Structure 1
Amino acid sequence: MNQYPEIFKPLTIKRMTLKNRVIMPPMGTNFANMDGSFNNEHIEYYRQRAKGGTGLITLENACVDFPMGTNGTTQLRIDNDQYIPGLWKFNETMHAYGACTSVQINHAGASAYGLRLEGNQPVSASNIPSKKGNAVPRPLEKEEILAIVKKYGEAANRAQRAGFDCIEIHAGHSYLVSQFLSPLYNVRTDEFGGSPENRARFAKLIVEEVRQAVGPFFPICLRFSADEMLEGGNTLEETMDLLSYFADEVDILNVSAALNDSIQYQIDQMNLADGWRSYMAKAVKERFGKVTVTSGNIRSPKVANDILARGDADLLAMGRGLIAEPNWVNKVAQNQEHLLRKCISCNIGCADHRIAKSRPVRCTVNPDVIHEDAYKEEQIKHDLQMVVIGGGTTALEAATSAAEIGATVTLFEEKPYLGGLAREIARLPDKKRIDDYVTYLEARAKECPSLTIHLNTRADLATIQQLNPDLVVNATGAKPLLPPISGLHETLALPDRQVYSIFDLLHNMEDFQEFEGKHIAVIGGGAVGLDVVEYYAERGAASVSIVEMQPALGKDLDMITRISMLDIIEKHGVNVYTNTALTEVTNDHFKVMRDGEEMAIPFDLGFVCLGMKADNPLMEQLTAFGAETGATIANIGDSKLARRIYEGAREARDILTTVHQVDAQKNMQEQF
């Protein structure tokens, strides 16, 4: 008997029966072809999630009105019958694994992707951009509104003909229906604006049109922002009042949150708790008595089961969690919780790739979101000895991946623990999710009989030579960048110093627990410096100051983390000094240069967080060793160039290309 029984209870909604309570919500991927059609990799991406046991796969938002309603660099379309064959193929593939399917139909309105609008001005309820800095839209005329309503009905009819089991209408997240519902966007004075009833009219017409198109027995889902999380926006109570005008014909209420300018609560920032939004779904369920969906950093099976057991919601939407771990349902069902590759909510390969950088979706902790474990099918043919130096996430991913395809791997880590910088950063309370990745890698490593790990062991050339390796992978990580600034190194050497590096904080967290009355100054406005600012500002320090040479903070961060950090800075009144250079360090103040003037920033505790630099002390010897013996030498991760976990994980999985090349060389040597 599984310890999480609520997750695996079937649920019937009209003529659709879900085998469990886990659904994949719609998430844009940038996988579609430019004409809005599917390709094989796109379907394969979804197949992995259906194969992994997900009960309901909701296809990412499909455009009902091209080009004016388009969203994203590439987006699926459902505005023409020519897309039905591809959608039918998608449904055949998903249904083969027992998954039900839905598709989200959507018009982006003022959030339309500008480069696809062919020179047209975007449209909306009013002339208010859907995001600060976005293009100003023009208000839709009544005839245009009614024409768009018809397009929703036509799209729903196509979805039904294409074999979907359900249809979802997107009424949240600053897209067109949301732009009519929200008083932040809708300042109309006609029958589509003003009162709640008028602002709800567009949504009501769409729901009615969709119901007429699909008939009485086909489930309709509505996704909406229950709380817009912005001053002047709809609150939870106000949204429920709006729903009362059009929820009757809806079967499933998908309770999300936030708008574009509060996106860190829609695509949840890292420090939000598992299932933090479930109170919203509970309120909606109690008021309307409908099947409800909740979401929000749901990673833990226990939390997921508890949400269902309490009756807060009926279904659990795991978006980024299923990008990271397509097999979440199957692993939980098979009591393999220790092998869950949990999403760490870093938002780098998913949200930042798609929204900020127009790239296809990727994942920090899952190096291959499309083919998953396909690499294991290509086992090497020869005995191959591989040494990995370092025990961080890059080293662990490389070592386990190689062992899983047949290599004999020996890993050396000089510390008494694995995880490297990731495990150390995870000591910060707001970054604790990162530790989930390390925990997963450790559990996965234990499943590999051909992988041997030596802790408390600093690798040297003599030790490596004894193993006679065919391949040596150096993944020794990075160390803090401490440039020769006047007073810096001298101050860091003082026995009673008040100036620290990030490692001083991470290695001795127990010494940095005083917050009240403390004045904190941080040099460096990148990821590391902002982590320190977050730690102290969120815990009540008297004042926090941050200094950055560049004109903006957090230029190296993903969009969600940067927005959440800037929100913290504004909320807590952090003193920000951009275009400001550190010139001298003393034990109680930093001297900086700003606009040609020198100034002092006093502190009780000062932190110098100027980034990280590669640390690879053995590479020169290893290169010579490789030249002498013919062993292949690779340098990956931060020891090659200090970056993020994302880049390290990709390079770690890519080491399999090198493993196969070495295996092929052995094959050639055998033949000759």
Structure 2
Amino acid sequence: MEKYRKIFEPLQIKRMTLKNRVVMPPMGTNFANLDGTFNRDHLSYYEQRAKGGVGLITLENVCVDYPMGTNGTTQLRIDNEQYVPGLWTFNELMHSYGACTSVQINHAGASAYGLRLEGKQAVSSSDIPSKKGNPAPRSLTTEEIYHIVKKYGEAANRGQRAGFDCVEIHAGHSYLISQFLSPLYNKRTDEFGGTPENRARFAKLVVEEVRKQVGPFFPISLRFSADECLEGGNSLDDTLELLEYFVEEVDILNVSAALNDSIQFQIDQINLADGWRSYMAKKVKEKFGKVTVTSGNIRSPKIANEILENGDADLLAMGRGLIAEPNWVNKVQDGKEYLLRKCISCNIGCADHRIAKSRPIRCTVNPDVINEEAYKQDKVNNPINMIVIGGGTAGLEAATTAAEVGVNVTLYEEKNYLGGLACEIARLPDKRRIQDFVDYLEARANELDNLVIHTNKRFELEDLEDKSIDIIVNATGATPLLPPIKGLHEQLAKPNRRVFSIFDLLHNMSDFQETKGKDVVVIGGGAVGLDVVEYYAERGANSVSIVELQSEIGKDLDLITKISMFDMMEKHHVKQFTSSALVEVCDNHFVIESNQEKMTLPFDLGFVCLGMKAEAPLVEMLTEYSLQNDVVVKNIGDSKLARRIIEGTREGRDILKDIEKIDLKKSARKKVTS
């Protein structure tokens, strides 16, 4: 605690006293019931973060005006009295762990979820969609604007009566207030459009109405996009001017960034530095002297503490970081920083699940965001022995999970390091955060006396001799997909070559440091190919081209990564060839075919990145062994099907179901013999 003293300093804001400086910001979950109420999973999810030591928990944005103001597939509501009891129950639970609470009240405006509008057109400041490709909204009338202002005030009053310690007004991220503040959306010519003062008028009315409804002693927070990160949008200086018109009654300034079309700077892409937005918060704090919140990939306690010590902000908002690690505060406070399960900013289970796929949120590195470590309470009742083959992230998750419930586990990894493909991808500078997950899994494994790990040891069937094994987990990973394309295998076999696979790059990064002036061609527009494109484009290659068989590059990427990759390709003028097939590989050029026409793409360096395929050479042998010896065999992760880390992590945790069956079976046998 003394090491990071500033993080744990209390802070009083009017009549609310926070026990530390860590804030859980509002993040949509898609957990709510369709009627806008809580359910057990929803409450449990928040409970884990309160139990983990967070000082202030801000409930995800809650609808103030149904259905026109809805956001997300499912969303909590606060637009009438029926929702007060459920919100009161939420606050009782959070307060029981010493956490203060805030509720973010919001009207989505043009960002309203289409299927929930019951056939009505969305509303906004003007008729500009809040996102490229979205339907156009209609402009609100003056009468409607004042009606919505009242809705915000009523919602704030309900939140106060429901037991919240604070209310937060959402004025950023392309929601309704943001749609009035931003010149990209607001094209009005009346008193609510044009000049900064006029564009700020709606926000000013909302803040004043909220203050009227909650009284002088109740904290009001305002979340806003300090820099909209789009040409023609509000810059940081523009926002500082806008805030002058409505900041007086606000107590907490929650400094965020970006709009829908720059979402990679709102839900931060993987390669943005820890606390990268803190300079924005510092400017806001210096100008207005109010309590200020910063956010942006904050994972490291050291950097978190430095932000506070430097006076850049007063509070630290850790969103996805607390999805990944609900116990961030407690672990840092207890000196267990090495056991932090840091968010790797992959944006797959959280942002992509919720925004792009209308699923409930999940997490790549945390396979149970709802119940966290509840499984550890259910120890096995009988001796159970498990072998894990492969020390990648799926194998390590299975091994540590099993050992934590009392299973005796032995893991074999033929390489001299753990982490598998995740460790290798993390060698790319822009993907270095992935190594944090590998480090966490290794630290977790080192805590377990009943988990033995052999590296530099290839598993052989003889390793099962004289052992009573109950379950074998195969997690041998994946290998690059290299089809029998003319010239490909011949070129890859040459000692002095210009054609490479992804593993050539990852296993020998020191040989690929020379990037400037190179002409690079990458075959394959999936995640792996785009990683190579990013590596060379960001590091001064003369030209970079990417070739994809399908009609779309990055088709299966998560929303944030896809947007950031396209932004990167546009910035560096990457040539894109879609609906194009590789037909021949030569020593200094590829031959591709598109619309029955062939084309030659010359290169200094050519990479063939056509994806990965499962590598499970032992499964057939293990299956036969299991039938003869009554042993359970599970094939998980990429050795089952080449996918992403999130699927392997989930399958690693799911090993608990097989362990439970084995344990029950052994207990039943005991009863019979006794």
Superposition TM-score, scaled by structure 2 size: 0.99
Partner of 1:481: 481
| Separation of aligned partners in 2, 1:465 and 1:311 | 62
Supply the distance in 2 between the matched residues of 1:467 and 1:286 (Cα, whole angstroms). 67
| Alignment of structure 1 residues 265-344 onto 2, 5 Å | 265-344=265-344
**Residue matched to 2:25:** 25
> What amino acid sits opposite 2:340 in the alignment?
L
Cα offset for 1:468?
2.8
Output one character per residue of 1:473-523: Cα deviation in whole Å (capped at 9) or x when no partner.
Answer: 000000000000000001100111100000000000000011111000000
The residue type paired with residue 366 of structure 2 is N
Distance 1:97 1:587 in 2: 64
Deviations 1:410-468 (A, max 9, x none): 00000000000000000000000000000000000011110000000000111123433
Alignment pair present for 1:116 and 2:109: no
What CA distance in whole angstroms lies between the structure 2 residues aligned with 1:378 and 1:585?
55
SS state at 1:438 partner: helix
CA deviations on 1:335-359 (whole Å, 9 max, x unpaired) are: 0000000000000000000000000
Structure 1 unaligned residues grouped into runs of 5+: none
Question: What is the CA–CA distance in structure 2 between the aligned matches of 1:377 and 1:158, rounded to whole Å?
Answer: 38
Match of 1:519 in 2: 519
Check the 8 A contact 1:152/1:209 in 2, yes or no.
Answer: yes
Q: Does 1:493 align with 2:474?
A: no
Separation in 2, partners of 1:411, 1:50: 35
Q: What residue identity is the alignment partner of 1:633?
A: V
* Match of residue 621 from structure 1: 621
Give the Å deviation of 1:669: 2.1
Aligned to 1:126: 126
Shift of 1:666: 1.3
Q: How does 1:55-66 map to 2 (within 5 A)?
A: 55-66=55-66
Partner Cα separation in structure 2 for residue 2 and residue 115 of structure 1: 51
Specify the SS of the correspondent of 1:159: helix
1:667 and 1:614 mapped to 2: Cα distance?
36
SS for the counterpart of 1:362 is coil
- The Cα offsets for residues 67-93 of structure 1, whole Å up to 9 and x where unpaired, read as 000000000000000000000000000
Q: Secondary structure at the match of 2:395?
A: helix
Tell me the equivalent position of 1:362.
362
Are 2:90 and 1:90 aligned?
Answer: yes
Q: In the alignment, residue 49 of structure 1 is paired with which amino acid?
A: R
Pairwise CA RMSD: 0.5
How far 1:652 moved relative to its partner?
Answer: 0.4
Cα distance in 2 between the residues matched to 1:467 and 1:551: 52
Q: How many angstroms does 1:662 deviate by?
A: 1.0
Q: Distance in 2 between matches of 1:201 and 1:442?
A: 54
Task: Give aligned pairs, total.
Answer: 672
SS of the aligned residue for 1:3 comes to helix
- Whether 1:438 aligns to 2:434 is no
Task: Name the aligned partner's letter for residue 476 of structure 2.
Answer: T
**Residue in 2 aligned with 1:454?**
454
Aligned to 2:16: 16
Partner Cα distance (1:25, 1:348) in 2? 19
What is the Cα deviation at residue 205 of structure 1? 0.1
Distance 2:658 2:636 in 1: 12
Aligned equivalent of 2:168: 168
Match of residue 36 from structure 1: 36
Structure 1 partner of 2:191: 191
AA aligned to 1:512 is F
CA distance in 2, matches of 1:437, 1:506: 18
Q: What's the counterpart of residue 210 of structure 2?
A: 210
CA distances 1:143-189 after superposition (whole Å, capped 9, x unpaired):
00000000000000000000000000000000000000000000000
Distance (Å, rounded) in 1 between the aligned partners of 2:59 and 2:670: 50
- Is residue 169–residue 220 contact of structure 1 (8 Å, CA) maintained in 2? yes
Q: Secondary structure at the match of 1:286?
A: helix
What is the CA–CA distance in structure 1 between the aligned matches of 2:322 and 2:2, rounded to whole Å? 20
> What is the aligned partner in structure 2 of residue 655 from structure 1?
655
Residue 2 of structure 1: CA displacement? 2.4
Aligned-partner Cα distance in 2 for 1:671–1:251: 65
In the TM superposition, residue 137 of structure 1 has moved relative to its aligned partner by: 0.2
Give the residue type in structure 2 aligned to 1:163: G
What is the CA deviation profile of residues 368-411 of structure 1, one whole-angstrom value per residue up to 9, with x for unaligned ones?
00000000011111110100000000000000000000000000
User: CA 1:475 to 1:558, structure 2 compared with 1: closer, same or farther past 3 Å?
Assistant: same
CA distance in 1, matches of 2:303, 2:135: 40
Give the partner amino acid of 2:439: T
One-letter amino acid matched to 2:69: G
Counterparts of 1:44 and 1:662, CA distance in 2: 28
Q: What SS does the aligned partner of 2:2 have?
A: coil
The residue correspondences of 1:398-409 to structure 2 (distance < 5 A) are 398-409=398-409
How far off its partner does 1:665 sit?
1.4
Structure 2 CA distance, aligned partners of 1:501 and 1:666? 47
Q: Which amino acid aligns with 1:463?
A: D
Secondary structure in 1 matching 2:94: helix
Q: Which amino acid aligns with 1:576?
A: Q
The share of aligned pairs that are identical, in percent, is 73
Instruction: State how far apart, in whole Å, the 2-side matches of 1:424 and 1:626 are.
Output: 32
Quick check: 1:2–1:335 contact (8 Å CA) kept in 2?
no
- Alpha-carbon offset, residue 20 of structure 1: 0.1
| Offset at residue 555 of structure 1 (A) | 1.0
Aligned to 1:69: 69
Aligned to 1:543: 543
Name the aligned partner's letter for residue 394 of structure 1. Answer: A
